[in-house]
Every structure is written in C-alpha cells, then in structure tokens.
Amino acid sequence: MAEKMCVVVSEGSFDKAMMPLILGTTAASMGMEVHVFYTFFGLKLLKQGNKPKLPGMMRLFTGMIRKKMAKNKIPLPEEMMKTALDLGVNFYACSTSMTIMGITEADLVKGVKVLGASAFLNLAADAKVNLFIG
Amino acid sequence: MNKDATLDAKGQMCPMPIVMLAKKAKEMKTGQVLELLADDIGAKEDVPAWCSRTGNKLVGIEQDGSVFKFYIMMK
C-alpha cells in the first residue's frame, strides 16, 4: 500500500496556498497518497475562482510576487491546483468550516470532497507524514 | 552515458522537475535510462530522494555549468 501524507491547512493566504500544493504535487510524484484538509480560513482556497493574496499589508504585493513567479516559471496556485488534481491529490473541505465561512458545495473547486474531522483523522492515523499549515 | 530518452527540465523550479520526472517515468519501460536535465539547485538533493523513494535507480550524475544531468534507470 502506498505511504500516506496528510496536511491540514487553516489559513487562506497566498503563501499558505502554495505550500500544500508544492508538497502535495511532490509527494504524489513520489508515489505517495496525499490528503489535504482545508479548515477555517484555509477553506477559501478551495473556492472556485479564488485568487489568494499575501497576508496582511503584504497583500498589496501579491501582483508583484505572481509576476516574479511567472517569470521564473514557478506555477501559480491555480495552475498547481490543477496539476495536483491530475496527480490524484485529494482535497477536502471541512464541513463545519463550510457552515462558519458560508461556503456551499457548489462554491468548491470541482473534485473537492467534503469531510468531517473523524473521517480526516481516520486517514491521518495511518499517515507517515502529517503536517499542519496555518 | 547511454540513455533511452531525455527530459529537459531546465528553467523549471521545484516542484516541477520532480512532477515532470514522475510523469515521464510512467511512459518508460523497465531497464530504460532517462536523462534528466535540471538547473534548479534543489534538484541535486531532490532527484536522488525521488529515486530512493520510488525505487528507480540513479546510475549517474554529471554537472555541466549550472545544469545537472541525472541518469535514472527505470524499475
């Protein structure tokens, strides 16, 4: 059975968008089974058409960092998300957070599943790598 | 070094060389050697790590200026 990696993401800023996508696509490329669970503000990252910004006042420089990344051929979050889904990375929305954040299933990127804490912990309990990004 | 295919990942930053490598590896047959070209500094450690995790054999590394050439025998 493939080794598992589970990641929890609790913030919705640009940097917090990139980290699980970089680790997720890499782990999937290394033959690992990947599960990424988005909770609280992280949930925004699963909304269709969402363009995350850098945190706090740095948000003003989001355009600059996107340009710099594009120039250096570093994939942007929306492209990375597509690659991750193609590689079979599993993305989950926390059902309770959806209610708190006012996000419905129809708002989510296609391919995202909805889970509760118990289902996620069931996956995490068997994972060799468990990370929290928040 | 003998090779059956070349994958050019020059100019690509982490994680793309590894993502491209995994995709290419799926197209190749057991025993074939893939030459991977990469100039991401991290690739020097990342490619051997990918090989040891996935069970593909790293049979050689060469460096040409800023470009690393990895030779990987497919499992």
Tens-place pLDDT, residues A10-27? 999 999 999 999 999 999
Structure-token pair, residue A87: 């590689």
Please state the rounded mean pLDDT for residues B46-70: 97
Taking an 8 Å cut-off on Cβ atoms, the answer to whether A26 and B54 are in contact is: no
- Closest CA of chain A from B7, distance in Å: 15
For residue B37, the tally of other CB atoms under 10 A from its CB is 19
Please state the rounded mean pLDDT for residues A89-103: 95
Name the band, by pLDDT with cuts 50, 70 and 90, for residue B31. very high
Q: Name the strands in the sheet holding A4-9, side by side, starting at the edge strand that comes first in the sequence.
A: A113-115, A90-94, A33-38, A4-9, A129-133
The predicted pLDDT at position A55 comes to: 96
Structure-token pair, residue B64: 């040409």
Asked if the model's pLDDT at residue A118 lies above 90, the reply is: yes
Question: Hey, is A8 helix, strand or coil?
Answer: strand
Which is nearest to A34 in space by CA: A5, A7, A8, A2? Answer: A5
Using the structure block, give the residue that is written with the tokens 């089974």: A33
Which is nearest to A130 in space by CA: A120, A115, A116, A117? Answer: A120
Name the band, by pLDDT with cuts 50, 70 and 90, for residue B1. confident
pLDDT mean across residues, chain B: 97
Taking an 8 Å cut-off on Cβ atoms, the answer to whether B22 and A72 are in contact is: no
Asked if the model's pLDDT at residue B9 lies above 90, the reply is: yes
Active-site residue, B14 included: yes
- Put simply, whether A45 touches B (Cβ < 8 Å) is no
Residue A25 half-sphere exposure toward CB, CA atoms < 13 A: 26
- Closest CA of chain A from B44, distance in Å: 15
Please state the rounded mean pLDDT for residues B19-46: 97
Taking an 8 Å cut-off on Cβ atoms, the answer to whether A25 and B14 are in contact is: no
Please state the rounded mean pLDDT for residues A74-99: 96
Percent residues over pLDDT 90 in chain B: 99
Asked if the model's pLDDT at residue A1 lies above 80, the reply is: no
Instruction: Say which of A25, A31, A72 has its CB closest to residue B15.
Output: A25
| Spatial distance between the Cα atoms of B19 and B24, rounded to a whole number of angstroms | 9
Using the structure block, give the residue that is written with the tokens 């070209």: B37
Please state the rounded mean pLDDT for residues B20-25: 97
The predicted pLDDT at position A28 comes to: 98
User: Which amino acid is located at B51 in the chain?
Assistant: C
Residues 6+ apart with CB under 8 A from B39: B10, B11, B66, B67, B68
Task: Tell me the pTM.
Answer: 0.92
Q: Is the ipTM of this complex over 0.85?
A: yes
